[in-house]
Amino acid sequence: MCVSSPPLPAVTSLATPFPAPHPTPPPSCVLQIIMEFVHGGTLTEVLGPTIDFPEAHIAFVCKQMLMGLAYLHRQHRLHRDIKSDNILVGFNGAVKLADFGFAVGLTEEQDKRRSVVGTPYWMAPELIRGLEYDAKVDVWSLGITAIEMAEGEPPHLHEPPLRVRSDAQWACCQWSGSSSRCRGREHVV
């Protein structure tokens, strides 16, 4: 069994059941995906509207997330589903990106994408609208996750998902202290 250990601790590692020389598994084998276990669970499990998540912890988690995203983006990969459910935290302070189900690669020929995938409350406006996008959509989602850490939930959580900000006007939200204030909500679809 080969263990794929990423060069960055902020990305979950993956154990693969076949050595690198085997391009395909033998027909009698069962394919298994084994990931490392992160004892603390997801970031979602430590957040909530009544939880005071200290600013220093928010900064630490954001820094670790940015390091993981920088690694992915250098590999020409987009995560496209950054949110607290997909951030693992360990009891030892480890912070790791997880759930690469919507991840996609970019090439020189196709350096932008248009497919609409992800979780609405964390999705960037251009992604929701089906416009071309690049790695900046992951940074947008990280920003929404930072607001979630500060306030206990992402903006607009109590609105129906299909009404979530699809207009770039939403990006003009002002965040001050412990509450986010958005102007131009009449532009929200």
Residues marked as catalytic: 81
What whole-number distance in Å separates Cα of residue 143 and Cα of residue 124? Answer: 10
The 3-class SS string of the chain reads CEEECCCCCCECCEEECCCCCCCCCCCCCCCCCEECCCCCCEHHHHCCCCCCCCHHHHHHHHHHHHHHHHHHHHCCEECCCCCHHHEEECCCCCEEECCCCCCEECCCCCCCECCCCCCHHHCCHHHHCCCCECCHHHHHHHHHHHHHHHHCCCCCCCCCHHHCCCCHHHHHCEEECCEEECCCHHHCC
- What is the CB neighbour count within 10 angstroms for residue 78? 25
